[in-house]
Amino acid sequence: MPSDPNDNALNAEPAESRADRSDTVSALERGISVLRCFSEDRPVLGYADVARMTGIPRPTVNRLVATLLAMGMLKSAPAADRFMLGPGVVSLARVFLGSLDVRAAARPSMQALAEEVGASVYLAVRDGMEMVLIEACRPRSSMLSARLDVGSRAPLPNSALGRAYLSALPEAQRTQLLDSMRLLRGPEWDALAPNMQRAIDEARRLGYCLSLGEFHREINSVSVPLIGPGDEIMALNGGGAAFVFSEERLRNELAPRLHDIALSIARDIGGHVPVPRP
């Protein structure tokens, strides 16, 4: 199987989290890196797949997988020597999602907006080099909305969610994270960076940023950043089919509504929304 240059980029950790290894457990880190190999596009993997994606030697992969299988974090797939995420991961995810009061605060206004304008509305947090959805609302009557759901992922540089997140980072952290992405993305970075930087600058000036067919073809979206009480950064997103959600409609209709919803959520959870800097 040919190597995918994005495999390691999707699962790599940012540079700032590697600053101090003195208190970490390498075996645990490797086990978690195995779990991070799985995605909606790669729900079933084999030993060779994991070794290739993580760079961990095959004998070590075998032992890590055996341990994760025994703990219920992985389960065997129907095909021989292949496996998938197990119920142990689901139980941990439920605890994580249940502890996020922001979901309870956000969902009513997100669903109301989705129904009113026919958009898909998402709330996401960062995980590694991606944004992961923690809430997803779609209009019940529309067949044109994007089919992402809780747990779906979006790349940082070319999704509106990722760009909104980056715009809210302190400058030093953003620079460090961008440097890590540049190294991981390799030759494709030169094509991604200009539009990403324009969107980040726009978010800092206007309070929102766009992705026009750059994450999913024919899907346009707009996002605003939201910061929780512990300074955790989230992003709120709305959009849908490009022929329905033109750039003008995103700017004039959805962006102000998303900003109002973000302010309401921030008040409920004790957070805040970054103030644009014209």
Q: Which residue segments constitute the domains of the chain, with CATH numbers given? A: 7-86 (1.10.10.10), 100-269 (3.30.450.40)
Q: What is the pLDDT of residue 145?
A: 52
- Token code pair at residue 136: 């997803």
Q: What is the pLDDT of residue 8?
A: 43
Measured in whole angstroms, the distance separating CA 37 from the mean position of its chain's CA atoms is 15
Q: Find the Cα–Cα–Cα–Cα dihedral 244, 248, 249, 253, rounded to 10°.
A: 170
197 and 191 Cβ atoms separated by less than 8 Å: no
Q: What is the pLDDT of residue 215?
A: 84
Cα distance between residue 98 and residue 92, in whole Å: 10
3-class DSSP state of 20: coil
Alpha-carbon distance 205 to 90, whole Å?
Answer: 39
Residues of the chain with pLDDT under 70: 1-24, 97-100, 141-147
- Cα angle vertex 29, ends 27, 33, to 5°? 115
Task: Output the pLDDT for position 229.
Answer: 83
Instruction: Give tens-digit pLDDT for 228-270.
Output: 888 889 999 999 888 999 999 999 999 999 999 999 999 888 8
Nearest to 129 by CA among 87, 179, 80: 179
For the entire predicted model, the pTM comes to 0.70
Q: Tokens 């019940």 belong to which residue?
A: 140
Please list, residue by residue across 55-71, b when 16 or more beta carbons sit within 10 angstroms of its beta carbon and e when fewer do: ebeeeebeebbeebeee
What's residue 123's pLDDT? 94
Contact 224, 162 (CB under 8 A): no
